[in-house]
Amino acid sequence: MSFSSNAKEEICGLTRSACCRKALLYGMLQTGHAFSSEGISLLTEQGGTADLYAGLLREICGVQPAEEPRESGGRYVYLPLAAHRQQVLAAFGHTGREVTLRLNRANFECEDCAAAYLAGVFLACGAITNPENAYHLEFRLPYYTLSRDLVALMGEMDLRPKQGSRKGSRLLYFKESEQIEDCLTRMGATGASLELMGVKMVKDIRNNANRVVNCESANIDKTVAAAAPQLEAIRRLRERGTMGLLPQELRELAELRCDNPEMSLRELGAALDPPISRSGVNHRLQRIMEFAEDN
């Protein structure tokens, strides 16, 4: 199963109070396939979501939904009887003839109902990308005004979604990992939130390790580039047979540099006996290069 499917299955499996179960169903109804006197339905690929939707309609509204299979493998759950649709609409304070669909906050009876409603919205029209690939959680809403109401509701939960549109639907989405973690936690998908945190932690460690490796590689490249003229000077001294004319301390350093082109000045100084400072090594190397110019 996908990361998104796992998160939804986790939400479906939670135990909630009666009022929060009603708020959850309300979120699924408002953002599902249809919610009006003409039709109340949900189209989903998640078995747990379809079962929860049908079960809550029976439990809370006392109506029996029907179901039709889809060739794509999804499940289409709907209310075929007009009387049952009107019964459900009335249960949530709607007539089905509203000009635009709005959030009726009278359906929130306790402080946890808003989060339960958000969880229902996610089950009906939400999706989350595998955090191994990218950080992205979105809600695809069918009504503009309802999307504005949901933005306000999220703001009260310290969630700040970005907004956009896609094929006539309104999009509310998050791309910051912290906001996605908070949103998942609010909806009750704490396992998915913890998994995302773990993935992010591994990514951070991997990125830091790569950064260190790249930094060390760049430093080695710089050291080798700086050593090139020194090595060239030592090569010329050897070819001319004038290495023996160097003072003992310069000859030792020349041999050490020739054998270790990747060593930094500080490392060269530490390898000498007795050790000398970085500036001391640099001064001796300059003397070797000047000697090579004259000899």
pLDDT score for 156: 95
Grade residue 10 by pLDDT with cuts at 50, 70 and 90: very high
**Confidence tier at 62 by pLDDT (50, 70, 90):** very high
Give pLDDT tens digits for 93-140.
Answer: 999 888 789 999 999 999 999 999 999 999 999 999 999 888 999 999
Residue 27 CB-density burial (10 A; 0-12 exposed, 13-18 middle, 19+ buried): buried
For the cut 80, the answer to whether the pLDDT of residue 223 exceeds it is no
Instruction: Report whether pLDDT(159) > 80.
Output: yes
- Specify the pTM: 0.71
76 and 147 in contact (C-beta within 8 Å)? no
Amino acid sitting at position 49: T
AA identity, residue 260: N
DSSP per position, 11-34: HHT----HHHHHHHHHHHHHHSSE
pLDDT at 44 exceeding the cut of 90: yes
- Give the dihedral of Cα atoms 286, 289, 294, 295; nearest 10 deg: 130
Identify the residue whose tokens are 């998994």: 195
Mean pLDDT for the stretch of residues 157-163: 96
Confidence of residue 9 (pLDDT cuts 50, 70, 90): very high
Q: What is the pLDDT of residue 242?
A: 85
Percent of the chain having pLDDT more than 90? Answer: 58
Q: Tell me the mean pLDDT in the region 77-105.
A: 93
* pLDDT at residue 115, rounded to an integer: 97
> Which amino acid is it at 223?
T
Both tokens assigned to 225:
């580039």
Domains of the chain: 3-188 (3.10.28.10), 216-294 (no CATH)
> Is residue 181 very low, low, confident or very high in pLDDT (cuts 50, 70, 90)?
very high
Average pLDDT over all residues of the chain? 90
Give the pLDDT of residue 98. Answer: 82
Banded model confidence at residue 239, pLDDT cuts 50, 70, 90: confident
Q: State the average pLDDT over residues 174-194.
A: 94
Whole-number percent of the chain with pLDDT over 70? 99
DSSP H helical segments within 57-188, as ranges? 82-91, 113-125, 144-156, 177-187
Reported as a single tens digit per residue, the pLDDT across 19-42 is: 999 999 999 999 999 999 999 999
Please tell me the predicted confidence (pLDDT) of residue 31.
Answer: 95
Q: CA 291 → CA 37, 226, 269, distances in Å? A: 97, 18, 20
Asked if pLDDT for residue 180 goes beyond 80, the answer is yes
